[in-house]
Amino acid sequence: MARMEWMWVAGGGLLVFGAAVWSTGALMARSRRRRIGRGAAEATRGD
């Protein structure tokens, strides 16, 4: 059971870390909207 608990803790930590990185990346993308905005929008829509 201990391993499962560690798996959940590690997974949750990765999710939180990933969300933080994504949010900061989104904020930076907004600040650089003119350069990367169009390409990023097309890339996300394409996926």
pLDDT of residue 23: 94
pLDDT of residue 13: 96
Closest by CA to 25, choosing from 12, 46, 43, 13, is: 43
Q: Consecutive 10-residue runs of the chain (47 residues): their mean pLDDT?
A: 87 96 89 61 59
Q: How far apart are CA 44 and CA 46, in angstroms?
A: 5
pLDDT of residue 19: 96
